[in-house]
Amino acid sequence: MKIKAKQAFTFILTFILAGNLLILPGYAAESNEILSLTAKYTSGRVSFSGTASTDVLAVAILLYDTDGTTLLRMETVGVTSGDNQNSFSGTIRIPLSSGTYTVKAANYEGGNLYSATFTVSAPAKTDNNTGGSSSPATGVTITPTPTPAPVYQAEITTGANGAENLDITLDDTGDNALAGLDQENIQSLFSESNEPVISMPAIPGVNTYTLELPASTLSGAEPGKTLALSTDAGTISIPDNMLSGMSGTEDKKVGISIGYGNKNTLSDKEKEAVGERPLIKLQLTLDGTQTSWNNPDAPVTVSIPYTPSDEELENPDSIVVWYLDGAGNLVCITNGKYDPATGKVTFTTTHFSLYAVGYNRITFSDVEQSAWYEKAIGFIAAREITKGTGAGKFSPEALLTRGEFIVMLMRAYEIKPDDNPAENFADAGNTYYTGYLAAAKRLGISKGVGNNLFAPGNNITRQEMFTLLYNALKVINRIPQGTSAKTLSSFTDKDSIAPWAEEAMDYLIKAGAISGSNGRLNPQNTSTRAEMAQVLYNLLSK
């Protein structure tokens, strides 16, 4: 889709405001600038690479049409650090006709635009008159040689032996592009890499890209490796246990598709929420028949290229992912987030459907922009983990109750409440947290405080909060990996932790979810609503 010149000017204006704009290919840049840029076009993709000064963290790439003013595509790429300069590279999958195109690069935070051009040449025409005569002999009919159909290939990369090609076929409608792998192919790929990537080029008229492979290759009991399908619509990373526990897959071929959704089928509410942002459709087939898939033990990761508006760039934590449930409801995927370094919105899901990039900026009158917890509260509010305490307030300094926490925790990790619980805690009552308490008891997230009581109105202590969090993460197999060098021994008050909370707090400290204060954990202190928001933000934003 082409971007009008006015929109392009709006983006460039941000660079003017951030610093001096110099569109000079040979400009000798100082700090925070682009040093070099090259670009070329092959097999339906623009490849670019260049260098930048060491202060540049991300680079904005702009691809212009042959007129030099119409912006076709804008991407953001991260940089690789070097001793004296940083380097960057990437590709843009886009079909182009013949002509000379311009690529421009700039520091994502503002600076000069560095230009490079490349030329796309049309295939040479061939003379079908093999007899050498300018006109056919009388009574002789010459049938023109038909123009061969274009041949498309996917690129397989493992990082071991370079790239290989894989043929792509189109269905009868020309709307679906399909690439297939057999058992031997997949075993070979996984022997070379834990994360092989199948990259399919953008193909004119194609809205859906499908990878087909034996279902048995995705039926492992435990996750170990992933296979990524990268397309113009987005990238889906498929775990090798995706179909574990799914019956009826024996000796069948599974097709995993990612493509563009049809916005014309959306309700008015959905159209308003999605706007001009990307809408993608994830689909699974068995031997060509569409089949529902839902596996909480094998989430897939999805990345969608996205260029935020100026307002969205100012509040990137408010960029979210909506799940469109087919009944007109918009359900926020709480782990969805935008990464400025990659220019992509990523999320994980355990079921296939329609998903859209959205923007849901929520503010509270009692949360100042300068407050240490403002970013965290904005993040969880945008994802509908909390709606505040009423009258447009969040009450960040208020103490958090056990009932409030269990609801926020389970919303954060999309654990549904029980609608008609068979049993519950004796003090669960009939209120907003009733169904969540029943689910927490049934799943083993909480055993309560004794005598079949949960004490939802009591203020929650820090060690209670971290224990419930740890139990929930274990239930959904989402325990984070350790990234911090700290342990329980790093804190002076470790001996005040209750024995039942030690495992949880030790693990979450190592995962970086708990940082403590002045060398103390304060496990028996009560927790504020702002502190809870920060803990969830630390986990969900990674």
Indicate which CATH number applies to the domain containing 203. 2.60.220
| Dist. CA 417–CA 414, nearest whole Å | 9
**Which helix (H) or strand (E) segment is 111 a member of?**
none
Taking the C-alpha atoms of residue 100 and residue 117, their distance in angstroms, rounded to an integer, is: 7
The phi, psi pair for 405, rounded to 5°, reads -65, -45
Buried b (16+ CB within 10 A) or exposed e, 259-269: bbbeeeebeee
In a domain, 321, yes or no: yes
67/45 Cα distance (integer angstroms): 19
Domain identity same for 52 and 108: yes
* Statement to judge: residues 342 and 411 lie in one domain: no
Distance CA 103, CA 91 (A): 12
Assess if residue 167 is contained within a domain.
Answer: yes
DSSP 489-537: GGSTTGGGS-HHHHHHHHHHHHTTS---BTTB--TTSB-BHHHHHHHHH
pLDDT for res 489: 86
| Domain end marker among 78, 104, 120 | 120
Q: Residue 367 domain-assigned?
A: no
Radius of gyration of the CA atoms of the chain, in A:
27
Strand ranges (DSSP E) for 261-379? Answer: 279-286, 289-290, 300-305, 319-324, 330-333, 337-339, 344-349, 354-359
Neighbours of 276 (CB within 10 A): 9
pLDDT in tens, the chain (542 residues): 333 333 443 444 344 333 333 333 333 334 568 899 999 988 778 889 999 888 888 888 888 999 888 888 888 888 887 777 888 888 887 888 889 999 999 888 777 788 999 998 865 444 444 444 444 444 555 556 565 666 789 999 887 666 688 899 998 888 999 999 998 888 888 888 889 999 999 998 899 999 999 999 998 766 678 999 999 999 999 999 999 888 888 889 999 999 999 999 999 999 999 999 999 999 999 999 999 999 988 899 999 999 999 999 999 999 999 999 888 889 999 999 999 989 999 999 999 999 999 999 999 999 999 999 999 999 999 999 999 999 999 999 999 999 999 999 999 999 999 998 889 999 999 999 999 999 999 999 999 999 999 999 999 999 999 999 999 999 988 887 767 778 888 999 999 999 999 999 998 888 887 888 888 999 999 999 999 999 899 888 87
Asked whether residue 442 falls in the same domain as residue 482, the answer is yes
**41 forms bridges with which residues in the sheet?**
46
- DSSP calls for 303-331: EEE----HHHHHSGGGEEEEEE-SSS-EE
Give how far Cα 280 sits from Cα of 319, 328, 441, Å. Answer: 16, 16, 36
Is residue 133 in a domain?
no
Residue 140 lies in a domain: no
DSSP sequence for 473-492? HHHTT-PPPP--S--GGGST
Closest CA to 79 of 35, 44, 20: 35
In a domain, 302, yes or no: yes
Q: Which of 359, 375, 397 is the last residue of a domain?
A: 359
Helix (H, G, I), strand (E, B) or coil at 293: coil
How many other β-carbons are positioned within 10 Å of the β-carbon of residue 73?
21
The token pair at 24 is 């000079």
- Residue 126's pLDDT is 41
- Give the pLDDT of residue 141: 56
Q: At what angle do helices 402-412 and 529-540 cross, to 10 degrees?
A: 20
Residues 112 and 227 in one domain: no
Q: State whether 196 and 324 are in the same domain.
A: yes
Residues 310 and 269 grouped into a single domain: yes
Cα angle 487, 489, 493; round to 5: 115
Give yes or no: residues 399 and 507 share one domain: yes
Are residue 184 and residue 322 in the same domain, yes or no?
A: yes
The dihedral of CA 274, 90, 242, 538: what is its sign? negative
Q: 64, 99, 120 — which closes off a domain?
A: 120
- For residue 373, being part of any structural domain is answered with no
CA distance linking residue 489 with residue 380, whole number of Å: 31
Place of tokens 């103390």: 520
Pair 56, 161 in one domain: no
The verdict on 241 and 181 lying in the same domain is yes
Position 194 scores a pLDDT of 87
Residue 128 lies in a domain: no
Tokens (6 digits) for 155: 């690129």
Q: What angle do CA 211, 212, 218 make, to 5 degrees?
A: 100
Q: Provide the number of structural domains found in the chain.
A: 3
Specify whether the CB–CB gap between 279 and 354 falls below 8 A.
yes
For residues 342 and 390, membership in a common domain is answered with: no
Question: What are the C-alpha distances in Å from 466 to residues 107, 332, 471, 526, 540?
Answer: 40, 24, 9, 12, 15
Note whether 158 and 222 are same-domain residues: yes
Give residue 396's domain range: 386-540
